[in-house]
Amino acid sequence: MKWLALALPLLLAGCNQNQESGEPVSTVDLEHFRDGTEAPEPAPEPSEAVASACADETFEGVGFTHCVARPGAQSIGMALLGDGGAPYRSFAAYRAAHPDEQVAFAMNGGMFDDTGNPIGYYVENGDRRTTLNRNDGTGNFHLKPNGVFYGSGNSWHVMDSESFYNTVSDRPRFGTQSGPMLVIDGQIHPEITENGPSRYIRNAVGVDAAGNAHFVISDADVSFGVMARYFRDQLHTPNALYLDGVVSSLWDPATGRMDVRAPLGPLIVVTNAAP
């Protein structure tokens, strides 16, 4: 199946491509990922215990997988380090460490360096491990404004980083910084063109007016412009944040989907609430 295939090129692939040039901020070593120490486990069998929170949709001729987390029905958290203190780097490693957790779905979430550690704001279980990154630079992360996906309990938000810095004083239960913002207060990011030449498999998150968190991954290469309009015009999220490209991956236990494209960094894990 298409989502189980490994990426073919044995080369350094950026976890973060510049919109026009494809210049990476950081890299992941796909060759090393294929050695014996990091070989991924086989994908799990589909689970019949719960219905999938994800569905296939099409927008402007592009296929997307759209997963929804609903307050009260699901909980959201971040995951980075395993018991040994090293990043998980894959959904399979996380699953092995949490075999009984009722995962609804999970996605990679936030830019990271070649060790798998976040390069921006990161909070897991109320523990801030990385501070907000307001530096200038190249690549998608620094295509400002970038933003933060964060929340506590059943309250989840996407906010541009400067607004977050100026208005959020209480530490959230979870948080991850990425960039660029796709939609800001109902407007598409001013640096995103209508349908630019940079095309990759990409994933992003937005929160609608009812508080539902919408996680999206494209089924094929897509421009920033198409993805931004999808969030604004079809999902109606006033703010949406790009999570990553090239390495973008989804784990949906209900369907048996577990993408394996490259080593991952921070994971956004959505769990089903206890019945």
CB distance 258 to 91 below 8 Å: yes
Res 8 pLDDT > 90: no
- Taking alpha carbons only, the member of 15, 19, 261 closest to residue 140 is 19
How high is the pLDDT of residue 19? Answer: 44
Name the pLDDT band for 244 (thresholds 50, 70, 90): very high
Q: Which of 31-40, 84-93, 212-221 has the lowest mean pLDDT?
A: 31-40
- Taking alpha carbons only, the member of 244, 149, 143 closest to residue 203 is 244
Average pLDDT over residues 15-28: 41
Cα separation, 150 vs 135, whole angstroms: 20
> For the chain, what percent of residues have pLDDT higher than 70?
82
Name the pLDDT band for 208 (thresholds 50, 70, 90): very high
CA atoms within 13 A of residue 58's CA, in its CB half-sphere:
3
CA atoms within 13 A of residue 228's CA, in its CB half-sphere:
22
- pLDDT: is 150 or 3 the higher one? 150
- Taking alpha carbons only, the member of 234, 247, 177 closest to residue 208 is 234
Average pLDDT, the chain: 86
- Taking alpha carbons only, the member of 126, 217, 246, 212 closest to residue 175 is 126
Res 16 pLDDT > 50: no
Average pLDDT over residues 71-97: 96
Res 273 pLDDT > 50: yes
Average pLDDT over residues 185-196: 92
Name the pLDDT band for 195 (thresholds 50, 70, 90): confident
pLDDT tens, residue by residue, 29-58: 333 333 333 444 555 666 656 789 999 999
pLDDT tens, residue by residue, 98-126: 999 999 999 999 999 999 999 999 999 99
Cα separation, 221 vs 63, whole angstroms: 9
How high is the pLDDT of residue 126? Answer: 98
How high is the pLDDT of residue 196? Answer: 80
How high is the pLDDT of residue 146? Answer: 97
Res 191 pLDDT > 70: yes
Q: Residue 251: count other Cβ atoms within 10 Å of its Cβ.
A: 27
Which residues, including other chains, have CB under 8 Å from residue 238's CB and lie 6 or more apart? 183, 185, 186, 208, 209
Name the pLDDT band for 198 (thresholds 50, 70, 90): confident
Most confident of 46-60, 135-149, 166-180: 166-180
